[in-house]
Structure 1
Amino acid sequence: MRKWLVGSVLVSSLMLPLAAFAQATPTPVGEPVVEATTEATEETQVVPPLGSTVNTTPISIGDTVVGELTEEEPVAYYAFTGEADTLVTITHRSEDFDSYLVLLDADMVMLATNDDGAGDLDSLITFTLPEDGEYIIQVDSYGHYNGSTAGVGEYELSLATIEQDVIEYGEVVDGDLTTSALEAYYVFRGSAGDSVSITMISDDFDTYLYLYDEDGFELAYNDDGAGNLDSRIGPFTLPSDGDYRITATSLSHSSTGSFTLSLNMVSLEQIAFGDTATGEISGGSPAYFSFDAAAGDVINISVDSEADTNMTLSDPYGYVVISDEDGGAGNNPEITDYVVSSEGTYTIAVGSTFAEAASFELSLSRAEIPSLNDGPLTLNFSSSGNSRTAVFTAEAGQTITLTLAASTEFSPNVDILQGGSSLSYGSASYVTGFSLTLTVPDDGEVRFNINDYSYTSVTVTASVEVTE
């Protein structure tokens, strides 16, 4: 695989004016910070007075230095000179206080900030320098930066450039996260309109993915979109021609271990309510379908295949909202009575559980939410299908009791709504029975959103009793 080593860094010792510092606002140039924070405002940030200067200490690329923040000197500054398009990573760790990092340009304009990007209470900035020139690292504590009690104690600061691997469509690469490299970086060339899927899988840690455009703006991120603790971004449609960067890391930003990363350009087939589509799965890559839905739509999705298949449903923002593996006939997935929460385009991914080639049929239909006015309902839950919805038409002033009776222990989480407002909420852990009682404020439909967080297969009988 080809590798790109991005840039080089020189260092200097500077005395710089702070005239622009208090008036500066974050500039959307270069690489945004992992978990960059914006909670500090101009009113709460503790900064030196206008027109003053700061003493800086030089730091060399590849250096790790140790320092100390004290009550007398609660902040430290380090200086380096960098070249445009250099991708740098700055890590600030301390066992004594909650660390905070700020990266500034020579005019003391803030370019990036970070609180806990390195995991625990440690800070990490990953940033592409926008131009040749001098840059300042502000080593701080979270309390001092936000105008509260300053953290004091020893710290460790590291500055490095980052090697980015080139990955191409259709490629699968192996990688490792280590204590000295808690993120891995990949670059690919894409064209406007490309629909891409990026998948990260690890047996060692909970994965996390980010996608940035060539200007460093975050386009998408994902935690568990590939199922289990694995991540998948996409299908995501690239907005323009250019280079895109993938950041592969762990959810905690502190875990280590091996992973595989794959990048694919995928086709996205349209499917409408009432349609049945056919598809093929090959090479372990899912097949993708999209459809438009409105908030409140109740949908059923099923897959019919001779292979063992699975399915995920992602919302318009790319989040996996529900998944299933064996909820349907045979070894096929089925999503039933799912209530759409927001208007937009949803994506269905149909995959092969054992990465085998398979053909399948996919059906999408609207459904009516089952009503408890006609009597008790049987609701089936599984590890991947843990959400069900039912309704009951009531009159204002009626007192109603929802009762859930389970075949085995389960962990119900129930939200009762009317007109979009929550009337009552309750939960329990590892019980076989559960109930909620409330008085209905208005005439009309009452909705019961029922989730089971035991993530086991369980059959639940739901019923409503009315007390006038």
Structure 2
Amino acid sequence: MVRAQYIPPLLINPREKPYNREVSNEQWQYLFWDTQHKEKNFMKYIRAALIAALLLLVSAVYAQDETPQPIDFDEVVTGTITDERPEIRYSFEVPEDGTSITALMSAVSDDWFDRLDSFLYLLDADGNEITFDDDSGGALNAFLGPQRLNAGTYIIVATRCCFGGGHSQGEFELVVRAVDVPSLVLNEPITFELDRDNPIGFGFFNSNQATSYFVRARVIAVEGEGNFQASGRGPIGQFYSGRYMPDGFSVEPVPMDITDGAYFFSVVLMPGTREERFTGSPDGARSPVTVQMIIEPVEAQEITLGESVSGTLTADQPVSYYTFNVDEASAIRAELRGGGDDGLAIEGVFHGPDGMVYNSGATSFDDTFFIDPLAVPRPGQQLILIGDISDIQPGQTSNYTLTLSESQTPVIQLGETIEGQTSDSYEREVIYAFDGEAGQTITVSGAGLGDNMAINVDIQLPRNDTLEQMAGGSLLGVYGNTPNNSFEYTVVIPVTGRYFIRINNGVFNFDGPLSGAFTLTIDAAD
């Protein structure tokens, strides 16, 4: 049996790294980080840091002095990004307000391992950043758009990933186009012919058409062997990725939580064929394909706490949906059993009312996984996706049973000492809960008992809208691999709520973690 572990999400706001040529904190940390030879190599890293700063300064001065090269719509221009010239600027004119444009920067080389990792910025005439992109063009190519612009002069900066810290080099082609963006209509397919010169198809879908809270954008191959992927963006920048399906690709689920909002969906041609989609073709070439994109409502069956539901996944129906409602942030238990006689594996993915994933697990080892506690961060309608992850083929089936119930995680009281045991099976964690009050000061102490046990502890913050995720979502983390370890810390409870204590063993052998005994005490501080 597998206990799926919660991994706090990494929230990235690209606007926190504006267009500039300064060395980031991460780059400085990289230059100086050497835990074993810090003193011996200190001067070496000092020299490296100074050289890096000088190179970035030179490139910044060069970029500011460079006069952008004028280009016209639909004109294909070529250039080369090198260490000596890490960016090239182009300018173009928008003739009238409300013009929608796209910009595609493609590496000329099809060699996946020796090619330019393209990156684009769009600036206004004063050099202010409007937007940027890294890989939306597929195969490390950059794609901007569609951007709705007013009349005036704009600047395109063709460079390399990412934010002045990249090292890739190579030739590229750049084309800026004025486009008419097609409207996507619910349940009506739209066709795109994708090839190397036109590798992207896209359209807008207005949420006022939706007949259900969640929809999906399904892309089906109708001719050709080309590999492709799709994605979506919400009206305020939300990003929705997708999954491969037997007949193509699907972006799901996408919540229609913005009234009268425009959702942007795109399909991108990728290297290789669909048969080679997990490895790519040897030379990275992209095969043409004709696809149809269709926006469909997501039909979901409602399930309540304490209920079990069963279903079957097939090649024609590789995904099933269920919804359940919670009135407040809480913790429950979710258990998924299933799979197929052919060793098929299935996954359960849990989405909040905003469509974002907050937990998931898969039946990879013994056809069972459970999550307890499953921390539901926000009240409202939750969506569960049960899907095949084994590339199910025609004629194969995968049966499953999903159960939601009250959490079985034991709740401990202040002053109580736990004596527990970790397991050497795939169920590697021991989990407890305690209820904390904001402003309360507690002492947490524990010890690993014996040569096979190094106690590791992660006390997770309550997940709710009133508390930002701090330190990766943890109140306290104790990690190590020294047997018979012990610790004692005093901490202040930041918010009232239920805290979860995850305990595992830091001592491993070649087969994984060992079983071991431990003690843990949480008490009010004097």
**Partner of residue 288, structure 1:** 322
The Cα shift of 1:159 comes to 0.9
Give secondary structure in 2 for the equivalent of 1:286. strand
Match among 455, 459, 470 for residue 417 of structure 1:
459
Could you tell me whether the CA contact under 8 Å between 2:137 and 2:268 is conserved in 1?
A: no
- Whether 2:288 is the aligned partner of 1:274: answer no
Q: Distance in 2 between matches of 1:305 and 1:70?
A: 51
1:319 and 2:361 correspond: no
Gaps of 5+ in 1: 1-34, 406-411, 428-433, 453-457
Q: Give the alignment of 1:238-249 within 5 angstroms.
A: 238-241=257-260, 243-249=262-268
Partner SS for 1:416: strand
TM-fit CA distance, 1:154: 7.0
Partner of 1:464: 517
379 and 344 in structure 1: CA distance in 2 versus 1, 3 angstrom threshold = farther
Rate the CA distance shift 1:467–1:118 in 2: closer, same or farther, 3 A.
closer
Which residue number corresponds to residue 232 of structure 2?
211
Cα 1:152/1:117, change in 2 over 3 Å: same
Specify which structure has the higher proportion of strand: 1
Instruction: Judging by fraction of residues, say which structure has more helix.
Output: 2
Whether 1:300 and 2:334 are equivalent positions in the alignment is yes
Unaligned residue ranges in structure 2 (runs of 5+) = 1-12, 23-56, 109-113, 272-279, 412-416, 435-441, 462-473, 494-498, 522-526
Matched letter for residue 476 of structure 2: S
**2:486 — aligned with what?**
438
Which residue is equivalent to 1:368? 408
Residues 298, 369 of structure 1: 8 Å contact kept: no
Displacement of 1:265 in angstroms is 0.2
**C-alpha separation in 2, matches of 1:260 and 1:379:** 49
1:380 positional shift = 5.4
> 1:266 offset after TM fit, Å?
1.8
State the Cα distance separating 1:463 from its structure 2 match: 3.6
Distance change in 2, residues 1:107/1:378 (3 Å): closer
Partner of residue 158 from structure 1, selected from 165, 174, 177 = 174
Percentage of identical aligned residues: 12
Alpha-carbon deviations, 1:26-72, whole Å to 9, x = none?
A: xxxxxxxxx9665136895958999x994542244051323678979
Amino acid at match of 1:66: G
Q: How far, CA to CA, are the matches of 1:270 and 1:167 in structure 2?
A: 28
Q: Partners in 2 of 1:462 and 1:219 — Cα distance?
A: 43
Deviation at 1:196, TM superposition (A): 0.6
- Cα distance per residue 1:68-124 (max 9 Å; x no partner): 789799753332435634341231659898765332345655322345655788644
Provide the residue aligned with 1:455 in structure 2.
Answer: none
Match of 1:185 among 202, 206, 209: 202
Contact 1:402 1:437 in 2 (8 A): no
Between the aligned partners of 2:176 and 2:514, the Cα distance in structure 1 is 59
Q: What are the residue-to-residue correspondences of 1:11-410 with 2, within 5 Å?
A: 38-40=16-18, 54=67, 56-66=69-79, 75-81=88-94, 84-91=98-105, 93=107, 101-106=120-125, 109-114=128-133, 123-139=142-158, 155-161=171-177, 168-170=185-187, 179-190=196-207, 191=209, 194-198=213-217, 209-213=230-234, 217-222=236-241, 232-241=251-260, 243-249=262-268, 256=286, 263-276=295-308, 284=317, 285-292=319-326, 297-302=331-336, 310-316=346-352, 317-319=355-357, 321-325=359-363, 334-340=369-375, 342-345=377-380, 346-351=382-387, 362-369=402-409, 373=418, 376=421, 381=426, 388-391=429-432, 397-401=445-449
Q: For the Cα contact (< 8 Å) 1:209–1:248, is it kept in 2?
A: yes
TM-score between the two structures when normalised by the length of structure 2: 0.55
Check conservation: 1:299, 1:336, Cα contact below 8 A.
yes
Describe the superposition over 1:289-315 as per-residue Cα deviations: whole angstroms up to 9, x where unpaired: 133386662413346899989441324
Q: Which amino acid aligns with 2:372?
A: D
Question: What is the Cα deviation at residue 246 of structure 1?
Answer: 0.9
AA aligned to 2:18 is A
Q: Tell me how far apart the structure 2 counterparts of residues 449 and 467 of structure 1 sit (CA, whole Å).
A: 9
| Equivalent-residue separation in structure 2 for 1:195 and 1:467 (angstroms) | 44
- With over 3 angstroms needed to count, the CA separation of the structure-2 counterparts of 1:398 and 1:261, relative to structure 1, is same
Question: C-alpha offsets along residues 377-418 of structure 1, whole Å, 9 cap, x if unaligned?
Answer: 65753xxxx88542499985542249989xxxxxx9965337
Judged with a 3 Å threshold, the aligned counterparts in structure 2 of structure 1 residues 268 and 391 are, in CA distance, closer, same or farther, namely same
Two-structure CA RMSD over aligned residues (Å): 6.0
Are 1:337 and 1:388, in contact at CA under 8 Å, matched by a contact in 2?
no
